[in-house]
Structure 1
């Protein structure tokens, strides 16, 4: 009798597609659209194979293989991250299973619309040559492929396209133009507003001018479509066991203290000296920085030639956790998640500065805010949509157990590694699990954000009562 009830309940659970809550921007904060709580990004950069590994002819990209995503999502859930940044995606591939797996474990996706291939990004040396309808068609295709996933948090219109003063003189108007075009396309063809922003190089000669140029408004309010919704920077100034002052994090925080859009680290995690100690984590998520910054993403999840990885992935799909994974997990576990993710948005009344040449301090940096017109043929794409348009949708995640062998950093093989699907009002957070503590390891149920249902703990306790106080996550993973 109990087995029949158990099967019926599990069948209902498997047939249900849980989802994270979509995130909106309120002033300079990311905000859960249902609870109103501010979201701090605890993320990792995710580009298996590295930037040079992107090859559309291969028929795969970082979000096209469900088995790979399941393995990595289980390890990320255990690590405690709630977001991934994915640089190179092929809009013509199917991403439903990977997006659904990351959604199930409460992990948001930050998607770059560009790629390293010719014609698929703005050429910083001659932006006027690369800004055309063919390029925009590709960026719109990425939007189409990911707009329907509720865990798509944002799109990056560019990454480090401005990286010195010469590029600062020519590129910024094109970044505003691409932002405008993406936002118009989303407004026309998406059922929800998805933020569009820029990821900057932390080059102090141009960083603040880039931020001011992209965040200002030409309309007097935040309705200017060419204005970025958010601004991020790739920062590696904290190296080793540094300090808030030595790393110049104090300068960054002060510089962005009056931001009108969310600011966060789109990459961080200097790898010299090695192994990394990640002592910046409690500072980045502490009282000195959280009033201004919205978290960040560690570079990077998989070990590539640049030696920033947390996990080494072998050609046969097996993986080994590196020491940096354990260290980062320990640092994440020191955070007060309830306080970090449970606060209401506070920076909601900030006003965007009006675009003016006085915002720009470096001579030679662009200070004219007239931006390029929409390229020939591109307005039709914006008005009517691209064709054929990729279609993405959440699908049922029917398998939760990782099939590939994964070793901990101490050499022990992890057994029972699996994802733990969360309720539809949770995002993933550090769980407090001890790294490399046992050869028998499962994904611990992460700490949850406050839910619209009165707290995720109440939801889970109801399941426990129904199942005779048996853990749903253990029961579910053993059933599959």
Structure 2
């Protein structure tokens, strides 16, 4: 009897792991690819930093507040988001609840390893001073905190460090940080996690930045970017593919050898935002060059980019921008943008050479700073007493906070829908909630995919109940 219980227990453990885990994403050529289904992965995302950098401290962050994560994951699921970007993280905080909630919702995380705190980032005016073991220990602690979550999609090694104010040597130090990050991941993580850079849309040096970070240095494998993010706000209001310069970006990155995506987009010079750029970004022309994008940003802050408003009385208002973005997402042809293309996955990087750099004053040599002995030791041994996260189980849960639509009407029935069969969240698949002023919002019973999710959740609940019973019984057995 004992082997039988062991077998059942092992099978149930395996099933529960698959139920609650999305598939890790990998880089192949210029595409992100689902590591199991081999489908192309397009980022349909939002930048997530409630309160902005001023609200961040080294003991808590946006992914350490369970109640907020549950609310926001449910609202993002309803919107159609499959990825978030989080800028500032406290590596020693507990992220298990939030990471598990976003994972259960089918939402991936792209995480910045830097912070605005002292020794938290490279100094663009003197990178040789800030590139040190104290800084890198914090970077590696972020990796430790998030490495075990399957929905950790990638790490940003830097954000807009290269710009008009940076010294010439900065690109080489970005590659040094990427090298150290990738070496650490290779030694301490059981799977590959992509590492890349988020660039400012400074057109004079944009392609030099991309070329410098994406080329392959001879006899050196790990300093190259795995992907390239671009913070672009050139499409404002009801613009067009050509007026916005999206056509130029598409042409510029058509022959890229790594995935390129908008790490920020959503100009707010015209309000409310109507997000007509979504159709261009995920249209046939751009989707061959770019892998989607992240809308800036989730919560309304002083700069006026929010999709939702967090009210003082612990209620939430979905702004007009949220509804407009949801409508644009609902028109996407996901089957077209998720199809893998062998010509894209087989692309190989070009070799680094000075001819790749066209701007005077931009670094055109590829002598990456050496890995100092104390940094090598840190990579080998890892930071001491690092906090390492783990995935927890999550159940489908209604949002407890009151949520209003943009007309001030209460939206009833918004629920976090646990995706029980390794699904990634997609626009229109996991909608919930109805308000008296908007009858167009679909309810879970209105679509077959929602019925399927409900059935899967019920099946998972039944299995977990059985799993709990067996665990209880297993506790009384001497193995």
Secondary structure of the 1:128 match is helix
Partner of 2:428: 431
Task: Provide the residue aligned with 1:366 in structure 2.
Answer: 363
Native 8 Å contact 1:107 1:151 kept in 2: yes
Written as runs of structure 1 = structure 2, the 5 A alignment for 1:154-303 is 154-164=154-164, 167=166, 169-219=168-218, 224-303=221-300
Match of 2:122 in 1: 122
- Quote the offset at 1:315 in angstroms: 3.8
Q: Distance in 2 between matches of 1:446 and 1:66?
A: 29
1:123-179 deviation per Cα after TM superposition (whole angstroms, max 9, x unaligned): 111111100000000000000000100000000000000012x52612000000000
Q: 1:15 to 1:170 in 2, by over 3 A?
A: closer
Give the helix-richer structure, 1 or 2.
2
Give the paired residue count. 446
- Partner SS state of residue 168, structure 2: helix
Do 1:132 and 1:376's aligned partners in 2 also have CA atoms closer than 8 Å? no
Aligned to 1:23: 25
3-state SS in 1 of match to 2:389 = coil
For structure 1, list consecutive stretches of 5 or more residues without a partner in the other structure: 1-10, 449-455, 468-480
Q: Could you say if the C-alpha distance between residues 200 and 234 of structure 1 is closer, same or farther in structure 2, counting changes exceeding 3 Å?
A: same
| CA spacing shift, 1:464–1:434, aligned 2, 3 Å | closer
Hey, what's the Cα distance between the residues in 1 that align with 2:30 and 2:398?
39
When normalised by structure 2's length, the TM-score is: 0.87
CA contact (8 A) 2:419 2:457 kept: no
Could you tell me which of 340, 343, 357 is aligned with 2:354? 357
- Equivalents in 2 of 1:125, 1:34: separation in Å? 43
> Corresponding residue for 1:65?
65
- Structure 2 unaligned segments of length 5 or more: list them: 1-11, 461-479
Q: How does 1:50-89 map to 2 (within 5 A)?
A: 50-56=52-58, 59-89=59-89
Listed as ranges, the matches of 1:374-453 within 5 Å are 374-398=371-395, 400-431=397-428, 438=436, 444=444
1:323-360 alpha-carbon deviations (Å, 9 max, x no partner): 00000000101111232224455402212111111110
Shift of 1:416: 1.7
Deviation of 1:271 after TM superposition, in Å, equals 0.2
| Residue pair 1:420, 1:443 contacting (<8 A) in 2 also | no
Give me the whole-angstrom Cα distance separating, in 1, the residues matched to 2:377 and 2:78. Answer: 45
Bigger Cα displacement from structure 2, 28-37 vs 421-430:
421-430
Look up the SS of the partner of 1:186 in the other structure.
helix
The answer as to whether partners of 2:163 and 2:202 remain within 8 angstroms in 1 is yes
In structure 1, distance between residues paired with 2:311 and 2:398: 19
Deviates most, 343-352 or 437-446: 437-446
C-alpha distance in 1, partners of 2:142/2:458? 43
**8 Å contact 2:403–2:410 — kept in the other structure?**
yes
Deviation at 1:413, TM superposition (A): 1.1
Structure 2 CA distance for aligned equivalents of residues 95 and 372 of structure 1: 33
Secondary structure of 2:414's match?
A: coil
Q: 1:115 to 1:267 in 2, by over 3 A?
A: same
| Contact residue 236 and residue 269 of structure 2 kept, 8 A | yes
Whole-angstrom distance in 2 between the partners of 1:144 and 1:91 = 8
| Kept in 2: contact 1:38–1:343 (CA 8 A) | yes
* SS at structure 2 position matched to 1:205: helix
TM-score (normalised: structure 1): 0.87
Partner residue in 1 for 2:314: 317
Question: 1:47: which partner in 2?
Answer: 49
